[in-house]
Amino acid sequence: VQLQASGGGLVQAGESLTLSCVASGTFSSINVMKWYRQAPGKQRELVARISKQRRTNYADFVKGRFTISRDNFKNTVYLQMNSLKSEDTAVYYCNADVYFGWGPSSDLWGQGTLVTVSS
C-alpha cells in the first residue's frame, strides 16, 4: 500500500491551496487519516485528523483556515488550506491507519509535498 501526496506548490500569503493524498494497493479499510507538516529545522507536527466517520480535529494554528476531508470511495484525504501564512511553509505529509483484514492496523506515511508561502 502506498500513500501518494500531491498539490503542494508556491503561493502568496493569503492565497489557498488544496492537498490530496490517495492510498493505493490492497487493504481492507482505512481508519484515521491525518496531515502532518514539518518546517525547516522544526519537528513534525500534527495539522489535522479525520476519522472514517469524518469526525475532525485541528491544531489550533490552523483552526478556521484549514479543512480536512476524505472520500472513502476514492481512498483519498484532502486538506483545503485558506488564508495561508508564511509560517505555513513546510513539507506536508499524509498519514493513514490502514487495516489489512488481519492483525493490527499499520501506520503508513506518504512521501510529503512541499508548500511554500511567500509574504
Distances (CA, A) of 99 to 2, 36, 84: 13, 20, 34
Q: What is the DSSP letter of 83?
A: S
List the Cα angle 71/7/10 in 5-degree steps: 150
Q: Which three cell numbers stand for residue 64?
A: 478556521
Contacts 24+ apart (CB under 8 A), 41-45: 42/90, 44/93
Kindly indicate the confidence band of residue 103, based on its pLDDT and cuts at 50, 70 and 90: confident
Give residue-wise pLDDT tens across range 3-39. Answer: 999 999 999 999 999 999 999 999 999 999 999 999 9
Residue 114, pLDDT > 90, answer: yes
Give residue-wise pLDDT tens across range 62-102. Answer: 999 999 999 999 999 999 999 999 999 999 999 999 999 98
Is 22 within 8 Å of 75 (Cβ atoms)?
yes
Report residue 95 CA to chain centroid gap.
7
